[in-house]
Amino acid sequence: GRVLVALQQGYGTSLKWVLNHTRLVGVVFLGTIALNIWLYIAIPKTFFPEQDTGVLMGGIQADQSISLLALRGALPEGLK
């Protein structure tokens, strides 16, 4: 109903604006491409070490008075 009509009118208005300002839209488009190229070059791409061993390490903290058997019983099955 009304929402669809409002969306169509908004689209028509924005389309007319873009078609009347093609040079500005072109400059913004080329600037966006240039910015993306610059960001691709500037942002470091090393999120992981170059020699990833595939090992994930973590730690477990428990009360000092707990026994090893009690600790093993408290761990999820995947961590045993």
CB 19 within 8 A of CB 11: no
- Residue 57: closest CA among 27, 79, 72: 79
Tally of CB atoms within 10 A around 11: 10
Q: Is the pLDDT of residue 64 over 80?
A: yes
The tens digit of pLDDT for each residue in 42-55 reads: 987 777 667 777 88
The two structure tokens encoding residue 66: 């707990």
The tens digit of pLDDT for each residue in 2-31 reads: 999 999 999 999 999 999 999 999 999 999
The two structure tokens encoding residue 10: 């908004």
CA within 13 Å, CB half, 31 = 6
